[in-house]
Structure 1
Amino acid sequence: MSSSLSSSLPLKFAFLFSLSLAGASSASLFPKKKLSIENPNTNNISPSPSAPAPINNPKAATVSDLLSLLGPTQQHSLNPQVAQQLFSCFKFLVPYNLQTTRRSLTTTTKLSLPRKEEDIDDLILSPPPPVLELARLALDSGADPAAIHRALDPTIITVPDVEGSNEDRCQLTRTPYGRLFIDEVLNSYLQFLFEIIVERGPSVGLNVSLSRYDLFHGHLFLAKDSGRLGILFHAKEYPAYDKEVFPYNMGYCQVGSNVTYDDSMNLRNILWLAPLPSNSTKAWLSPGVLVVLDARPDGIIYQDLIPEYVNFARTLYEEDFGEVVFDVNYLNVGSEVPKFQIFIC
Structure 2
Amino acid sequence: MSSSIPLKFAFLFSLSLAGAASFTTTAAAPFRFSRKHRTKSSYSLSPSTRPKATVSDLLSLLGPPQQAESVNSQVARDLWSCFRFLVPYNQTPTTRRSLSYKTSLPSRRSEKAVDELILSPPAPVLELARLAVDSGADPGAIHRALDPTIIPVPDVEGSNEDRCELTRTPYGRQFIDEGLNSYLEFLFEMIVERGPSVGLNVSLSRYDFFHGHLFLAKESGRLGILFHAKEYPAYDKEIFPCNMGYCQVGSNVAYDNSMNLRNILWLAPLPSNSTKAWLAPGVLVVLDASPEGIIYQDLIPEYVNIARTLYEEDFGEVVVDVNYLNVGAEVPKFQLFIC
1:83 matched to which residue of 2?
76
Aligned partner (choices 54, 57, 64) of residue 56 of structure 2:
64
1:34, CA displacement in angstroms? 4.4
2:22 matched to which residue of 1?
33
Residue 201 of structure 1 aligns to a residue in which SS?
helix
**1:196-215 residue pairs with structure 2 within 5 A?**
196-215=190-209
Residue 122, structure 1, aligned to residue 111, structure 2: no
1:106, CA displacement in angstroms? 1.6
Query: What CA distance in whole angstroms lies between the structure 2 residues aligned with 1:187 and 1:341?
Result: 10
Query: What CA distance in whole angstroms lies between the structure 2 residues aligned with 1:45 and 1:135?
Result: 31
- TM-score (normalizing by structure 2): 0.87
1:115, CA displacement in angstroms? 3.1
Residue 306, structure 1, aligned to residue 300, structure 2: yes
Aligned partner (choices 92, 95, 104) of residue 85 of structure 2:
92
> Any runs of at least 4 consecutive aligned residues in structure 1 with deviations exceeding 6 A, and if so which?
none
Aligned partner (choices 131, 139, 143) of residue 145 of structure 1:
139
Unaligned runs of 5+ in 1: 1-23, 47-52
- TM-score (normalizing by structure 1): 0.86
Share of identical aligned residues, percent?
77
Residue 313 of structure 1 aligns to a residue in which SS?
coil
Query: What CA distance in whole angstroms lies between the structure 1 residues aligned with 2:255 and 2:287?
Result: 17
Query: What CA distance in whole angstroms lies between the structure 1 residues aligned with 2:32 and 2:194?
Result: 32
Amino acid corresponding to residue 62 of structure 1 in structure 2: T
Amino acid corresponding to residue 89 of structure 1 in structure 2: C
Q: Is the 8 A contact 2:32 2:304 kept in 1?
A: no
1:74 matched to which residue of 2?
66
Unaligned runs of 5+ in 2: 1-13, 35-41
CA RMSD of aligned residues (A): 2.1
- Residues 134-164 of structure 1, C-alpha deviation per residue, up to 9 Å, x if partnerless? 0000000000000000000000000000011
User: Does the C-alpha gap of structure 1 residues 227 and 141 become closer, same or farther in structure 2, counting only changes over 3 Å?
Assistant: same
Query: What CA distance in whole angstroms lies between the structure 1 residues aligned with 2:21 and 2:154?
Result: 19
1:33, CA displacement in angstroms? 1.9
User: Does the C-alpha gap of structure 1 residues 225 and 106 become closer, same or farther in structure 2, counting only changes over 3 Å?
Assistant: same
1:28, CA displacement in angstroms? 2.2
Q: Is the 8 A contact 1:45 1:248 kept in 2?
A: no
- Residues 157-194 of structure 1, C-alpha deviation per residue, up to 9 Å, x if partnerless? 00000011011110101101000000000000000000
User: Does the C-alpha gap of structure 1 residues 44 and 93 become closer, same or farther in structure 2, counting only changes over 3 Å?
Assistant: closer
Query: What CA distance in whole angstroms lies between the structure 1 residues aligned with 2:33 and 2:140?
Result: 33
- Residues 47-103 of structure 1, C-alpha deviation per residue, up to 9 Å, x if partnerless? xxxxxx852567610000000000000113111111000000000000000334356
1:184 matched to which residue of 2?
178
Residue 222, structure 1, aligned to residue 222, structure 2: no
Residue 328, structure 1, aligned to residue 322, structure 2: yes
**1:187-336 residue pairs with structure 2 within 5 A?**
187-336=181-330
1:101 matched to which residue of 2?
96
Q: Is the 8 A contact 1:43 1:251 kept in 2?
A: no
Residue 312 of structure 1 aligns to a residue in which SS?
coil
